[in-house]
Amino acid sequence: MKGKLFRFTAGTRIFHWIHAVCFILLGLTGAALVYSWLQPIANIFGGIQISRDIHRWAAAIFTISIFVFFLLGASGRELRSWAKSSFKFTKDDFAHAKNFPIEFFGGHKPFPPQGKFNGGEKLNSMLMITGLLCIAISGYIMWFASSMPQWLVQWAYVAHSGFALLIMAVFLAHFYLGVLHPDSNQALGGMFNGYVPEKFAYEHYEKWYNQVKVENKNT
C-alpha cells in the first residue's frame, strides 16, 4: 500500500479487537455488578444474572484468546515480541514518556527516535498487561471462590476492583489517544487494515521506520 507501512498482522488485529470488545463488555458488566447505582447498565444485557454470565464468558474468551493468539504463528511471534519489548523500557522510552503529557494535550516536544512501540505505548502496554493479568487471576479466584482460601478471595476482590479501576483509567487514555487524539489516532488504521501512514510512522517510531525500510529493501 502506498505511503503506508505494515504494522500489525491480522492475528494481532483480531486479538486486539477481541480484547477490546471483551474489555468493554467486562467493564460494563463488571461495573454493574460491583456498583449498585450502575446496575441499570445490566438491563442493556437483560439483567444482572445475564450480565454476570456475560462477564464470565467474556473473561473466559479474554484469557483463552491470549493463549491461542500468543501461540499462533506470525501473530504469536509479533505478540510475544510486543509483550517482551513492552517491559524493556529504555532511556529513549523514558524520554518519550516524559513528554507524553504535553503530547496528550495537543502540544509537541521533540523526543529521541522510538522503536516499534514508543515509550507512551510501552507504558500503556505495561499497565494493561500487568493489570489485566492481575484482574484475570483475581477474577478466576473469585469465580471459584468456594474452593479457594477465604483470605485469598478477600484480597482478590481488592485486586480485581483496584486493577479494574486503574485499567479503566488507562483504557480511557488509550481510547482517547487511539481514537480522539488528532495526531496519534492515525495509528488506528493499523488496527483495522494493518497499515499506518509512513509519515506518521516516521514521526512516531523513527527507529522502527528505518528498520522496516531496510527490511523491505532486503526482500
Q: Which residues bind other proteins (CB under 8 A)?
A: 3, 33-36, 39, 48-49, 52, 104-107, 145-146, 150-151, 153-155, 157-158, 161-162, 164-166, 168-170, 172-173, 175-176, 180-183
In angstroms, the CA 157 to CA 160 distance is 5
CB of 95 to other proteins, least distance (A): 21
Name the residue nearer to other proteins (CB basis): 180 or 217: 180
Closest CA to 121 of 167, 179, 82, 168: 82
- Closest CB to other proteins among residues 18, 177: 177
Please report how close the Cβ of residue 141 comes to other proteins at its closest, in angstroms.
10
Q: How many CA atoms lie within 13 A of 13 on its CB side?
A: 15
Measure the CA–CA gap between 167 and 132, rounded to whole angstroms: 8
Looking at beta carbons only, is 107 or 110 nearer to other proteins? 107
CB 183, min distance to other proteins, A: 7
Kindly report the backbone phi and psi dihedral angles of residue 168, in degrees, each rounded to the nearest multiple of 5, phi listed first. -60, -45
Phi and psi for 36 in degrees, rounded to 5? -60, -35
Q: Which amino acid is at 51?
A: S
**Shortest CB 52 distance to other proteins, Å:** 7
> For the purposes of burial, counting CB atoms within 10 Å of the CB of 138, is it exposed (0-12), middle (13-18) or buried (19 or more)?
buried
Nearer to other proteins, 74 or 172 (CB): 172
> Which of 14/38 has CB closer to other proteins?
38
Nearest distance in Å: CB 139, other proteins: 12
